[in-house]
């Protein structure tokens, strides 16, 4: 059984998986389509990219980051989620997917804008908004059902990528907290930051010396230069209701 299954590998789901993966939780991301951000023509309000970024490249890089953080990925649309046993939610949940094997997980993060129909058997508390439903959550993304969380637009957060990413991170941290993982903050600090004050390096924190810091910076710059060396060449996905001819 997985520690956490994240339904939806879009902006919120990927951000959540980076945190749960780095905290050592066995994390599976199941995605049945593509992020709505793939429809964007130029992402210009995401902090850190002063000239903007191709949204599909942002998604690709974030997926790579999640994978390197330890998350696994599976393609498939989740169609149903229910407790493994009728009586004990701590026994976890079983998720059915279209055409795939059932997935078992102790905790579930729904990050599947705009689909939450698979949550109906769990009775998490959904509210209709136009043709879609949103899920009620507390400040950590916890729903009314212990062990089930919602992140991003599906949790009624504002429809912006940085908000969805931040909410995904918040929910990932709540899952880590509720899993009782040995966790303080996911920080990388310079050598001596804690130990220089006679303190132990807290769990999930790391101290690195200057040579290691420079080596990581070198790797990071190389990676980004490679990633941005050529245009991606993928067009935005058009709204399904718009007729268009391929050129």
Ligand X SMILES: Cc1cc2nc3c(=O)[nH]c(=O)nc-3n(C[C@H](O)[C@H](O)[C@H](O)COP(=O)(O)OP(=O)(O)OC[C@H]3O[C@@H](n4cnc5c(N)ncnc54)[C@H](O)[C@@H]3O)c2cc1C
The site for ligand X (CB under 6 A) is made up of: 7-13, 30-37, 39-40, 43, 45, 77-78, 111-113, 115, 118, 152-154, 159-162, 164
Q: Considering beta carbons, is residue 66 or 154 the nearer one to ligand X?
A: 154
Q: How far is the CB of 18 from ligand X (least distance, A)?
A: 13
Specify the residue, 12 or 174, whose C-beta has the smaller distance to ligand X: 12
Residue 66 CB neighbours (<10 A)? 26
Q: How far apart are CA 129 and CA 85, in angstroms?
A: 31
Nearer CB in complex with ligand X: 53/189: 53
Distance CA 224, CA 6 (A): 27
Fill in the DSSP letter of residue 240: T
Which residue shows structure tokens 């879609």? 132
Least distance in angstroms from the C-beta of 107 to ligand X: 16
* β-sheet bridge partners, residue 31: 75
Residue whose beta carbon is closest to ligand X: 10
Smallest gap from residue 219 Cβ to ligand X (A): 28
Can you tell me the distance from the alpha carbon of 2 to that of 129, in angstroms, rounded to the nearest whole number?
32
Smallest distance from ligand X to CB 101, Å? 15
Distance CA 145, CA 89 (A): 8
Helix (H, G, I), strand (E, B) or coil at 155: helix
According to DSSP, the residues that pair with 75 across neighbouring strands are 31
Closer by beta carbon to ligand X, 115 or else 186: 115
Give the nearest distance from C-beta 176 to ligand X in angstroms: 19
Task: With residue 53 as reference, give the H or E element that holds it.
Answer: none
Question: Which tokens belong to 29?
Answer: 């991301």
Strand partners, 135: 126
Closest CA to 134 of 146, 125, 142: 125
CB of 205 to ligand X, least distance (A): 28
Least distance in Å: CB of 242 to ligand X? 11
Residue closer to ligand X, measured from CB, 166 or 183: 166
Best CA proximity match to 148, nearest among 130, 169, 174: 174
């Amino acid at each position: 059984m997985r520690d956490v299954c994240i339904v939806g590998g879009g902006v919120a789901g990927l951000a959540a998986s980076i945190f749960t993966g780095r905290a050592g939780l066995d994390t599976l991301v199941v995605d049945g389509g593509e992020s709505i951000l793939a429809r964007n023509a130029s992402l210009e309000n995401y902090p850190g990219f002063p000239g903007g970024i191709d949204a599909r490249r942002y998604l690709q890089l974030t997926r790579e980051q999640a994978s390197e953080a330890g998350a696994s990925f599976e393609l498939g649309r989740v169609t149903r989620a229910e407790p493994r046993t009728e009586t004990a939610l701590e026994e976890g949940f079983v998720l059915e997917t279209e055409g795939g094997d059932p997935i078992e997980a102790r905790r579930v993060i729904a990050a599947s804008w705009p689909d939450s129909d698979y949550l109906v058997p769990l009775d998490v508390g959904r509210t209709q908004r136009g043709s879609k439903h949103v899920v009620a959550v507390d400040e950590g993304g916890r729903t009314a059902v212990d062990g089930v969380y919602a992140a991003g637009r599906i949790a009624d957060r504002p429809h912006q990528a940085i908000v969805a990413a931040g909410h995904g991170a918040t929910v990932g941290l709540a899952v880590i907290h509720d899993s009782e993982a040995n966790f303080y903050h996911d920080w990388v600090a310079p050598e001596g930051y804690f130990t220089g004050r006679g303190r132990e390096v807290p769990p999930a924190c790391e101290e690195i010396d200057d040579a290691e810091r420079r080596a990581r910076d070198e790797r990071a710059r190389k990676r980004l230069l490679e990633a941005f060396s050529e245009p991606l060449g993928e067009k935005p996905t058009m709204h399904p209701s718009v007729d268009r001819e391929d050129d």
